[in-house]
Structure 1
Amino acid sequence: MNYYINEHSLRGQFEKADDFWNSIREYTLPALKKIESNNENVIWKKDSLWQTAVCEDYTLAQLLNAKGGKNERSGITAALKIKLLKLVNQEPYWSIDEGSEVEVCEYGFDFPYSKTFPKVNCFTEAIANEGRILSFVHENYKRDTLEFIVIINGKEKNLCLDNIYSKEWWKKEPLIKTWRLEGGYLIEIRSNEYTYHPPHFHVSYNEFEAVFRLADGQLYRSGKKNPSPKFFQVIREWYGENAEFLQNAWNEFHESSMHEST
């Protein structure tokens, strides 16, 4: 599963650095640990995330590189800094220069600030790759879902993204049916899908991801990194033996859309 850090949820809302570190310790870090507990999960961030404002006096980069104060005697804040430094400095990144296949015509949250969102942002990236949003603590992002109106194939569609700002979100996590293959391949049928997509299943292997059609097992779309021919061979052979199980799992979650696609 792809997770996208919400760069718009960090824009100077904290009065002081201690407030930021307290929110990281109580909300953000437990959520990060939950995500990282699954090796198949990938956390994406904007390539300029380090420039975002934390409070009036500090950007994220300045705060992470600032000398420790009295609160670091216990080592708690120092440990949080190390964790965030690793996250910010570790690939993968996305860039606004890459463009996006998703056009959002209305954001159903964070108004009026959402009027200033660039055309390419964490939300368009998450929509394009069927990912989830990971937000810092912000009053406008203390919600489980984010609503959008987007243009897909020339038509307006209403969509929602999962939004996570604390570990509590997983108590209401949408259902996912998984199969684990030898060699580290993970196959998923997800209950929370956009209805404009044909019935499909997700495959991940290390840093590679792809989506395949249920109807014929053919590639629907791949991630930012193209898998090897062996990747497709393994999935093609497995699909040939397990197509019925995949279709049954999809039917369990999306019976109406399965009928519409036939």
Structure 2
Amino acid sequence: MTALPAPFWLPLPDAPDFPAEGFAPLADAIGRLMGTRNDVLLVQGEAMVALEAVASSIGAPGRKVLNIATSPYGQWFGAWLRRAGAEVTEIAGRAPGRPVAAAAVAEALATDRFDLVALVHAESATGILNPLAEIAALTRAHGALLAVDAVASLGGHPLALDALGVDIAVMGPQKALGGPAGTSAIAVSPAAWERIAPPGAAPSILSLGDLRAHWLETGRGALPGTPSALEFHALAQTLSRVEAEGPEAIR
């Protein structure tokens, strides 16, 4: 009987730390890519975590939301808003897998007074693109905040948050940008901060108020908790590549 080789251990080298001073430049690069000068928060988790954090932080009893749900992602966002206490009215496209019509949004806005309009910009499962520019104009005229899931659209379609008047936007680098799935980011306007719940008694990954208090307002140094160095190194490489090539080259 042939003897088995002796067991051995071949440990992988430890990942190099991601420097605390490197987080702010990542947030700034994301802001440039999204076309915004608003605050950008880094989230240590896939974009679903960031989306749930937005809903948990801005949903509240008495708050009325028009949620444009053209996919499961939009439906989940509405469910998280309801869990936070918001009153959610939902509309969808003319048929499953179809974008919403701007006229349908205008009709819904004419029926009630809403504090927030929410939508997914692009749907990776179906390939549809909701008419963000038209919806943004309608939302501004209505006097509501606008929240956008831009995870699948960023890098694949032009996106200029400030020019459009988007108040909250979530990005994830794993779609058109070709980056890692373990990090995400949220852009937040001053008007949105006025509606977001303040920090709680204990820090929460689902609290934008906590991220603001424990990272943004402390000088954007070390992130709370233990960030994954590999994920943030990968994000830095992704953003560096996209900036070097230019967004038009990857669309």
TM-score (norm: length of structure 1): 0.27
TM-score (norm: length of structure 2): 0.28
Task: Identify which of structures 1 and 2 has the higher relative contact order when contacts are C-alpha pairs closer than 8 Å and 6+ apart.
Answer: 2
Q: From the two aligned structures, give the one with the greater strand fraction.
A: 1
